[in-house]
Amino acid sequence: MTRARMCALAIGAFAATALIGGCTSAENTPEPSSAAQGGSITVFAAASLKSAFTEIGGQFETDNPGSTVEFSFAGSSDLVTQLTQGADADVFASADTRNMDKAVVAGLVEGGPVNFATNTLTIAVAPGNPKEIRTFADLAKPGTSVVVCAPPVPCGGATEKVEKATGVTLSPVSEEPSVTDVLGKVTSGQADAGLVYVTDAAGAGDKVTAVAFPEASQAVNTYPIAVLKDSEKAELAHRFVDLVTGEAGQKALAKAGFAKP
């Protein structure tokens, strides 16, 4: 065999080895995780969570560079209806266990929901309380326009419980699809009073005066949160739930007026 022939064979063998080594290296390179890749998750959350979850969402994006959180805030009953009709979301946070149970029964939830907060009703009135509403019974006085949440909505269910506990039946001028809509009726002057959560009244600042009433303790709402089974970003979704239930999330919720479950 000539010297030139031997060199050609050696070069060919070296090239083949390098090519195989390169392929092997590429095949063995691990794919980056979904968390490393980042991405966007959609959180369906009760309207009363808007302030606290917006803050938590900002923290989540800081903790997970390249990731974003999109929120859809509405009444819990409306949200679970959207989910059962096929709406895409990664996390569901309800203002009561009743609507979360609907999602569980429909097979939408991965694993079990986790309770992360509680909330209580209060009476929201115009600043300074010009109608001098002092008790729950005062809401039934003639000439007092009251707004409440519709019965399927958690704050509406809580209102019904208080009515039963007190024996006082209200005659609301409207029943709203979310607690934020009730608050809006009061702040805009369309109603004298509205039954909202303590967190919503606190968030409204000096736009309303909050009137606490002892019977509210008969209707404390517990808030559960869960990752949804069809989530395409399950790892990120679990990270969001962990943040909500962890120290940072609980601090943000407490600042907004929520109590621990």
| Same domain, yes or no: 157 and 181 | yes
- The answer to whether 168 is a known ligand-binding residue is no
| Residue 48 marked in a binding site | yes
Residues 213 and 143 in one domain: yes
Q: Is the pLDDT of residue 126 over 90?
A: yes
Distance, CA of 39 to CA of 80 (rounded, Å): 24
Summary mean pLDDT of the chain? 89
Please check if 94 is assigned to a binding site. no
What is the C-alpha end-to-end distance of the chain, expressed in Å?
85
Q: Is 251 helix (H, G, I), strand (E, B) or coil?
A: helix
Q: Of 204, 201, 215, 221, which is closest to residue 124 (Cα–Cα)?
A: 201
Provide the pLDDT for residue 31.
42
Contact 149, 206 (CB under 8 A): no
Average pLDDT over residues 120-134: 97
| pLDDT of residue 26 exceeding 50 | no
Say whether both 67 and 185 belong to one domain. no
Q: Which long-range contacts (CB under 8 A, 24 or more apart) does 174-178 make?
A: 174/147, 175/147, 175/148, 175/149, 175/150, 175/151, 176/147, 176/148, 176/149, 176/150, 177/74, 177/75, 177/77, 177/78, 177/149, 177/150, 177/153, 178/47, 178/74, 178/75, 178/78, 178/149, 178/153
Q: In terms of domains, do 213 and 124 share one?
A: yes
User: Are 206 and 231 found together in one domain?
Assistant: no
Model confidence at 37, pLDDT cuts 50, 70, 90, reads: low
Query: What's the pLDDT tens digit per position in 152-205?
Result: 999 999 999 999 999 999 999 999 999 999 999 999 999 999 999 999 999 999
Mean pLDDT of 34-39: 57
**189 close to 128: Cβ distance less than 8 angstroms:** no
pLDDT by residue (tens digit) across 108-125? 999 999 999 999 999 999
- 248 and 207 in a single domain? The answer is no
Residue 21 has pLDDT above 80, yes or no: no
Q: For position 38, what pLDDT does the model report?
A: 72
Split into its structural domains, the chain has a count of 2
Q: Is 186 annotated as a binding residue?
A: no
pTM: 0.83
Domain assignment present for 15 = no
Residue-number span of the structural domain to which 180 is assigned: 120-220
Residue 19 resides in a domain: no
Calpha distance 228→83 (Å, rounded): 10
Section 51-68 average pLDDT: 97
- What is the rounded CA–CA span in Å between residue 217 and residue 227? 29
Tens of pLDDT, residue by residue over 203-244, are 999 999 999 999 999 999 999 999 999 999 999 999 999 999
